[in-house]
Amino acid sequence: MKRPRISFADFQLPFLANKSPGPETEQDDEEDGTNLEDMEGLLPKEAIFLGSIDDEVSNWTSWKVDDHYYLLPWDDGKFDWALFRITWDDNWCRYDWSCDARISGVADPKEAARRMLRKLFAHWEIDLRKSTSSPYRDLLE
C-alpha cells in the first residue's frame, strides 16, 4: 500500500452540486435548505458520521462552533476518503458545507478519519494539548 497522503486542496463533493447557495445569497433557511435537518437529509448513505463539536471560541469577539464531521468513500483514483463538515456560520446565522480534506493510502475508515482530523486540526493551529481544545481531542477518541 502506498504511503498516506492528505490534501487540503479545494474539492467538491458530488452530492453537493447545486444543492446550497453561497453566503452571498440572502435567503431564509427554510427557503434555501441550509438548516441542519435538510442538509443531513442530503447525505449519501455511504457517509459515516464521525461526531460533532459544539463549542464557543472567544478572542476579541466570540462565535459559536457547531461542526458535524463526516467521512465519505472517495473513488477518483487519487484519494480513498473525503472529510467534510456541516458547519454553523455565525456571521450568516446558517449552516454551510465545508469540504476539508482527502486522503489516499489508508483503507480503514477509522484510521483515515483519525489521520485527517489530526492534520486538519494542526492545519487550523489547534493545539490539542490545551484544555480549551478538549472538544477536538474528544472527537479524535
Residue pLDDT, tens place only, 17-63:
755 444 444 444 444 557 899 999 999 999 999 999 987 776 666 76
User: Residues 57-67: pLDDT tens digits?
Assistant: 766 667 678 99
State the pLDDT at residue 18. 59
3-state SS assignment for residue 121 = helix
What count of other Cβ atoms lies within 10 Å of the Cβ of residue 127? 10
Extract the C-alpha cell encoding 76.
477518483
